[in-house]
Amino acid sequence: MWSKNQLINKPTRLIRYFCTLNKEQVSRLHKKHEIQRILDIVKSSKTYQSDLSRFQFMSLHNKVTLDSSKNSDIKHLKELNKLRHSIELVHQIDKEFNDFLELNDLIKNSNDHIDKWELESNELIDRLYQSSIEIELKSLMNGESDYNNCYLEIHAGAGGDDSMDWTEILMGMYNKFCDRREFKCTIVDSVAGDMVGLRKCILKIEGSYAYGWLRTEMGIHRLIRISPFDPTNKRHTSFASVLVYPAPSEEGNENSQLNSKDLKIETFRSSGAGGQHVNKTESAVRITHLPTGISVSISEQRSQHQNKSIAMDLIQSKLIQRDMKLKAEKEQQFRNELGTNGFASDNVVRNYTMHPQERVKDQRTQTETSQLQKILSGEEELDNFIKIALSK
């Protein structure tokens, strides 16, 4: 086998060397270099170095006991555990990668049990490759709220019944995405369409890095297809807007604590389906934050208390998002960033084409795929679109 310098300095030898490899060996070589590349990037990244320094500082200066009942101690303990998990994951992958290199050396220098060792080596490199991709992605999720749970809203735009149907299809896509990534996805509010689909829905998504995974989904999603609601079988274009914002963390956000004097709380009867109890009692709740004018309405639950609890959590989430945008010196209001939810929109993030051929294209990154059904099923193809958007 050629040394690294020989491979670099002698292209013809490099070509001959790769010609001797089978498909499995090429794949393993690619994964080996990718893991090394990712480890080098992650360990030298500002995020990792900052986490490491903060973890060392907190370990030395914040002596917190597990049975502590102080809110500040609980907050420090949670942050310490989060940092520990992040750092130990990188160290574990680094250690196992070195084990893999040692195992490869053993295979080269031994004639005994080669098949068994090669099988073990292949299993190890596959697992390390997947783990390294995950830590590379998390290194991109370094925003102050990326680790949080999140709320995801979908609103039907221009397109009538097609757009309401499209809103329901997108809700299904995100539900399946969450199931595959083992996020908990709950419908906290929805408004049915006139004939089909949904006018809007709000999902609460819970899991580590839920907001980090989904924040780049915010924008206008455009569908082009032969309308199932048009008897002339013409092609229609439909729009739906997606808004994503972080849920408040369990310990709360000091700058976004709600003052009861700033809130206007109204109750009213639900107009949607749900049985006599929902429609006869004032179970629906609308909360308006008077200083900012931010308002949320929840009517999905049968209990007024449940609707109020969800609305309080949701309005606090919106205030956190507002604070984050102010810190970033973005003066436009949250919803105005989306622009028009229709043909005049200049903020289309993704096109989904079902006719004349199936294709999905991200307008921001120019990423394309013909695997439309896999995207709508929330499979790994959707992960790839999100990862590329996060890296920009």
Sign (positive or negative) of CA dihedral 41, 43, 44, 47? positive
Domain 146-392 grouped into CATH 1.10.10.10: no
Query: What's the CA gap between 317 and 321, in Å, rounded?
Result: 6
How far is Cα 83 from Cα 77, in angstroms, rounded to an integer?
10
Helix or strand (DSSP H, E) at 298 = strand 294-298
Please list, in sequence order, all residues whose beta carbon lies within 8 angstroms of the beta carbon of residue 147, skipping any fewer than 6 positions away.
82, 141, 208, 209, 211, 212
Q: Which amino acid is at 14?
A: L
Residue 17: both structure tokens together: 């060397």
Domain boundaries, the chain: 4-140, 146-392
Q: What is the pLDDT of residue 182?
A: 95
The pLDDT tens digits along the chain (392 residues) read 444 444 445 455 544 544 555 677 778 888 888 899 888 878 877 778 888 888 888 877 765 554 555 666 677 787 888 888 888 989 999 999 998 888 888 777 776 656 667 777 888 888 898 888 888 877 878 777 898 999 999 999 988 999 999 999 999 999 999 999 999 999 999 999 989 999 999 999 999 899 999 999 999 999 999 999 999 999 999 999 999 989 877 655 444 567 888 899 998 877 655 444 445 677 889 999 998 889 999 988 888 889 998 999 899 888 888 877 775 554 345 555 556 666 666 789 999 999 889 999 999 999 999 999 999 999 999 998 998 888 77
Q: Give the Cα separation of 362 and 36 in Å (integer).
A: 29
DSSP codes joined into one string, 371-382: -HHHHHTT-HHH
The model's pTM = 0.66
Q: How far apart are CA 141 and CA 43, in angstroms?
A: 15
**φ, ψ of residue 72 in degrees (nearest 5):** -65, -40
Q: Name residue 360's beta-bridge partners.
A: 352, 369
Q: What is the DSSP string of 186-248?
A: EEEEEEE-SSSSEEEEEEEEESTTHHHHHGGG-EEEEEEEE-TT-TT--EEEEEEEEEEEEPP
Q: Are 155 and 238 in contact (CB under 8 A)?
A: no
Q: Are 312 and 151 in contact (CB under 8 A)?
A: no
Compute φ and ψ for 9, nearest 5 degrees: -85, -15
Angle CA 119–122–128, to nearest 5:
140
Cβ burial of 385 (10 Å; 0-12, 13-18, 19+) is buried
pLDDT of 43: 85
If we measure between CA atoms, which residue out of 153, 164, 191, 199 comes closest to residue 273? 191
Cα–Cα distance between 162 and 67 in angstroms, integer? 55
Q: Of 46, 65, 218, 69, which is closest to residue 140 (Cα–Cα)? A: 46
Asked whether 194 and 227 are in contact (CB, 8 A), the reply is no
- Looking at residue 63, its pLDDT comes to 57
CA distance 365 to 149: 25
Q: Which two tokens stand for residue 200?
A: 């809007």
Evaluate the omega torsion of the peptide bond into residue 356 and state whether it is cis, within 30 degrees of 0: yes
Q: Kindly report the number of other CB atoms within 10 A of residue 205's CB atom.
A: 24
